[in-house]
Structure 1
């Protein structure tokens, strides 16, 4: 049992970290464009593959989904703040 908890926590951390750069990218492209959908969904096949490979159950999906969404949100806020900094520097 502790092994599966460790695997689930590790996959959740991986989901979060994997979605940080994707969230940054998502924040810089037009909403609902092809690139936007790619940025949102690109990590899903890898996360599903790892979940199955690690032998985790479907009960771990909400944890992975929450971690992925949190990574997207934090990465998106980082992308928007970076874009704002570039914009204000170009005005100076």
Structure 2
């Protein structure tokens, strides 16, 4: 019985070490004065998710990736009901 409890505790401990965790890094404020990022570097922070894209208005679907006025055109996903029409129009227009 003690061996089973010991084995159970060992499995829990190892599982806690191996489990992948979200990697969020916070840059130390005291080191920011030494940072020399490239002049063209842009920093983005946000989340992207998809839920019921067929219910989204078209203007929102086309500018789904938009932060601080910088927009990334988001094409329709293959599961979207409008995907086939979007691909046909894309191939037709150069």
- TM-score by structure 2 length? 0.29
Q: Which has the higher contact order (CA 8 A, sep 6+)?
A: 1
TM value normalised by structure 1: 0.30
Higher alpha-carbon Rg: 2
The structure with the greater share of residues assigned to strand is 2
